[in-house]
Structure 1
Amino acid sequence: MRRPSLPLPLSAVDVDGWMAVSARNALAGYVGQMPELCVEVGGDVFASGRLGAATPARNAESVAWWNGESEGNWLAAWLGHVALVGSADDRETARARVARILGHQSGDGYLGMFAEAYRADRGVITGDLWTQTCLLRALRSWADAEHDESVHDAVDRAIRRTCAHLHQALADGTAFRDTRRTGHDLMFIDVLYDAYLREPDPTFAATAVALYDAFSSADIDAPFADFQRDRLLSDAPMTGHGAHVAEHARVPLQIAVMTGDPDGSWTELFGRGMTKLSVAVGSSGGIRSDETLGAPGQAPVHLAEAGEEQCALTELADTYLHAAAVSGDLRWVDRAEAILLNAAPAGVLADGTAVGYLHAENQTAATRSMGTRWDYSPTHDDAAVCCAPNAGRLLPLALRHAVVRMPEGWLVQLYGPMTLTLSGRNGEVRLRQRTSYPFGEDVDIEVSAGGEVFTLELRVPGWCREASVVTARVDEVVIERRAMTIAVTGRWGDASTVRLTLAQSLDVVPTADGRVALRLGPLTLAAPIVHRAVATRRYPGSNLRDLDIVPADGAARSPLVLREARLSEARVERAGGEVSWADTGVRVTVPMIDPSPRSTATTGAEDTEVVLVPIGQTTLRQTVFSMVRSG
């Protein structure tokens, strides 16, 4: 069982181009402003606002731990964006926020949302493990970015305190005994796994195994129980809450690493989980979760009109990146990239002002009248403040996996406009990607390494049928095509370059219900529906609003239909220059059938040309089409 290296600190990543635009928009918009917009994030619940017996939780469902989840995940999003694109003032504000949280660390090491007096006469409080997880993940990533050992020490102390606290509760079976709806608590294993990679203490592995065993034997509500051992080993389909399923999927793999998996049972559990889960994944990489995968007893089917939940998208991408790190199989990176470039941006307004809690591949409207989770909002505090913070977590999380240290050099896993500063054997190594990828095919990597010899391994995505490399100013160069990469070995100077070309073809992607989607390289394409935004709520002191998104002309439209015989006539155009999710510069013109044309007086279907764009550039759209298979 491979033990992966720790992910990159965000201090090693400097984003540019569309990545910087997205990060800055989010930091100025919903990520940066969230504490002022809703009490779930603005309550300072890990410091001055800790909850006690007489402190009511203020959220849509009055669930005590929800605010810790919201604030913890928001901290990960906000601290990540500050590390990537924040100003000097932003960084000082972030340091002060972290210091205030650490200043409230309890004498026994506890970092969390519940007051000491409240915890004194209780065992394992429902949601406490989960909210500690959300907080400690955020603090750990910030400590890496800041190279701050004092934050690392505080996190280590908190983890060991909770391990000791859990010891008795897990041993005597009281953990999970009297509580239900505690599925998220299992994710304390995320924290244990990270701690184990830093220091392989068997205590972390033993606690993780005991926690999973307690979870598996507990009486937990069905929407959160898909990954209990017996249910996972059964033939029962997954039908539970998408975010739980997506995050729980990595737990067996994490335990496999921590235990060495001597009989392969943990790896088998992971494989069964991912196989069961795969049927709920759609053409743009997202998982159906509106908010569950399916009805009880029925295998989930991803439908283009079904909702995809931002929480589930972020957690699934995280699980995929874990799988790639442990297995070395870069097909998992392909799946994570599909979410990053398609499913996730399809549910975030490009200007960073609002997020869809749920969104669909075929989305003809997004309004609160469809349900409290279907409009666009910077908070969604009328439902739950979980998806907006999680939408902000994804880019920083993914960029920490952009490059992986290998024995002979580095593996570049993710492409985009960024500079990575790494520690080489003899000094600093800089990799600058000059590219508009995924909106263009070329990735130019400028390498500055002072004459160091190493291998730069470049991921070739599974969708790419033709990849090529050209080098310049690299001495003693050897280029080798491997199973999922191109490896370039040489002596790298201070002005060495590699041009990787990943040819993007237009592909037809079958969907679970017999329809198809079109994909250009890594980008799922969609026919945008011209829309207008109607403000339904304004936040005092902010320019942000809750929005209903409706077609511009207010009329329903008949779905467009593809003609298989005419797909070869499709034309791809790329504008070039500066691009962002507001305008990617990619246009694919495709002959289609309009069943109900409006431009003429006829009532029959007409052939027409439709311009498709990447799904992440759209808000209302048609992404999945019926296709006429004959002429």
Structure 2
Amino acid sequence: DEELRYKFDNENGELWAKATLLRGLLAWYDHTKDPKVLNAVERAVDNVMVNWPAGASQPFYSVNQYVGGLSHGLVFTDVLEQLYYLKGSQKYLDYTLFLYKDFSQHTLNEDAQYKKLMEQSLMMVGHGVHTYEHLRTVAAAYYASGNPKLKTALDNFQDKILMETTASGGPVGDEWILGKKADATSRGYEYCSLHELLHSYVSLYAKTGSKEYGDKVEHLFFNAAQGARHPEASCIAYLKSDNSYEMTGGLNGNNSDATQTRYKYSPVHQDAAVCCVPNAGRIAPYYVQYMWLKEGNDLVASLLGPSEVSTTLNGKKVSVTETTEYPYRNTVTFSIASETDFKLKVRKPVWASKIKSGDKYQEENGFLVFSIKKGTKTIKLDFVPEVKLQKDVNGETYFTYGGLVLAHPIKADEAKTKFFPLPGYADLKYTPQQKVVYQYAGEKVKQKGNKLIFETKLCNPATGKKETVTLQPMGETILRQVTFKDR
């Protein structure tokens, strides 16, 4: 409709719809290399730039500061960055800067606006998924401009996100952040937020080469993301908390708001919004996409996991097969066939204080660097895990084993509350058979044999006595306790 296109003063999905469609087309182009697909994306982006010219339009103006689709549209910069990567045209970076500048100058309830980011003490309040996806745009704006003030804004943004991050790596917002920091029990996170923050971190990883982003990605993916996915059934939690004592619609049994239905497991979540389920399908492909990176003529195993990569270095063919059960087992084997000499860089996980390998390597900036000669080669690494005691942002204790956050599983009764035409699919709710919120008692954690099952003694506050409890990876749990206050 020509009367509506590009003519808004309120909520709209113009840029958001385009960003979603064009990212899909760019992925299809990456797979097929069909020039017609890339040309279609370029034409669509040019149409935006003509109708909303840089410096002479206001794509993010709204008379209402509480918007959804409008501010989601800032991720149109994902498309612009990818086109710059493919075509090398400066106009795409220039338009990225224009969009962020326009976004920042209007009155919107959004955390990523420049002036808000420059206030270090200002807590974030907005819709969580908006906030965490907008990290990519702030990073894109800084790297497009090199402006040191934008670097400060980017650093402040990441510091603020850390205050909203739970023990599992989950960024809170259920669905709003509301100026309150992360809490394992009273704050939940949305599955969309998990995906968007992971996407933002892998984007920063590729830009910076800094291993800290790889550690953040793995921590979020293997713990918060798997812990919000049902370990057996085909469904996810729209909202989930680290300490999950009940999943019946409201947060940990608070069902005072009849419209809050998101704290449950569903293959659809149609009664809330059908956004988290599709994003749960995106998060693993984004992890896989960034498992291997290049740095000049070096090959980087950036995110660990079973994989194969075939590429060229120095114009010669190189293939690597990575065999591992990481992070559930921590032996990683690289089988290499190469037509040229090169360096293989393997990101050292932040938790790995002890490493075993029969091959020589050097450690540089958190990467293990192996010099690979032309021909075939096998490298075997053992990252030796141990149980470690950690503290969350509130000083509560939790335990990790290698890359896995451990949790005390809580036995629960299951109720199937809605069935779908496809057999085996249902909405699931869970109530605890017995609820005990344990306290940390200063006892050691011991592994039971070679399985990922652990035992420790925690204090039952109702009796004041220590009890032996089981811990296991939180990704294998439904109801659970992850963090423990001191007794």
TM-score between the two structures when normalised by the length of structure 1 = 0.71
Q: What is the 5 A alignment of 1:26-425?
A: 116-117=1-2, 119=4, 122=7, 126-167=12-53, 171-173=56-58, 175-178=60-63, 180=65, 181=67, 182-220=70-108, 222=109, 225-234=110-119, 235-259=121-145, 261=146, 263-295=147-179, 299-351=180-232, 353-368=234-249, 370=255, 371-425=260-314
Q: Cα deviation per residue 1:246-278 (whole Å; 9 max; x = unaligned)? A: 11122121122223x1x4222221111111221
Partners of 1:402 and 1:253 in 2: CA distance: 21
The one-letter amino acid paired with 1:146 is: T
Partners of 1:433 and 1:151 in 2: CA distance: 32
Whether 2:323 is the aligned partner of 1:434: answer yes
Partners of 2:231 and 2:436 in 1: CA distance: 26
Contact kept in structure 1, 2:297 and 2:314, CA below 8 Å = no
Q: Cα deviation per residue 1:27-65 (whole Å; 9 max; x = unaligned)? A: xxxxxxxxxxxxxxxxxxxxxxxxxxxxxxxxxxxxxxx
Count of aligned pairs between the two proteins:
474
Shift of 1:490: 2.2
User: Aligned in 2, Cα 1:179/1:337: closer, same or farther, shift over 3 Å?
Assistant: same
Contact kept in structure 2, 1:193 and 1:258, CA below 8 Å = no
**Structure 2 gap segments, 5+ residues each:** none
User: Aligned in 2, Cα 1:301/1:360: closer, same or farther, shift over 3 Å?
Assistant: closer
Shift of 1:178: 4.2
Corresponding residue of 1:70: none
Corresponding residue of 2:392: 511
Partners of 1:619 and 1:162 in 2: CA distance: 45
Whether 2:437 is the aligned partner of 1:559: answer yes
Shift of 1:382: 0.9
User: Aligned in 2, Cα 1:352/1:189: closer, same or farther, shift over 3 Å?
Assistant: farther
The match for 1:520 among 401, 406, 428 is 401
Q: Cα deviation per residue 1:301-339 (whole Å; 9 max; x = unaligned)? A: 333342111111111111111222222211111011111
The match for 1:611 among 433, 447, 470 is 470
**SS at the partner of 1:497?**
strand
The match for 2:453 among 557, 577, 587 is 587
Corresponding residue of 2:375: 493
User: Aligned in 2, Cα 1:573/1:151: closer, same or farther, shift over 3 Å?
Assistant: farther
Partners of 2:353 and 2:135 in 1: CA distance: 30
The one-letter amino acid paired with 1:266 is: L
Contact kept in structure 1, 2:5 and 2:14, CA below 8 Å = no
**SS at the partner of 2:349?**
coil
Partners of 2:62 and 2:440 in 1: CA distance: 54
Shift of 1:469: 2.8
**SS at the partner of 2:398?**
strand
**Structure 1 gap segments, 5+ residues each:** 1-115, 472-477, 576-585, 597-603
User: Aligned in 2, Cα 1:559/1:286: closer, same or farther, shift over 3 Å?
Assistant: same
Percentage of matched positions with identical amino acids: 25
Contact kept in structure 1, 2:299 and 2:343, CA below 8 Å = yes
Corresponding residue of 1:466: 354
User: Aligned in 2, Cα 1:123/1:445: closer, same or farther, shift over 3 Å?
Assistant: same
Whether 2:372 is the aligned partner of 1:447: answer no
Partners of 2:399 and 2:76 in 1: CA distance: 39
Contact kept in structure 2, 1:250 and 1:270, CA below 8 Å = no
User: Aligned in 2, Cα 1:173/1:134: closer, same or farther, shift over 3 Å?
Assistant: closer
Partners of 1:165 and 1:479 in 2: CA distance: 54
User: Aligned in 2, Cα 1:138/1:174: closer, same or farther, shift over 3 Å?
Assistant: closer
TM-score between the two structures when normalised by the length of structure 2 = 0.92
Partners of 1:546 and 1:196 in 2: CA distance: 43
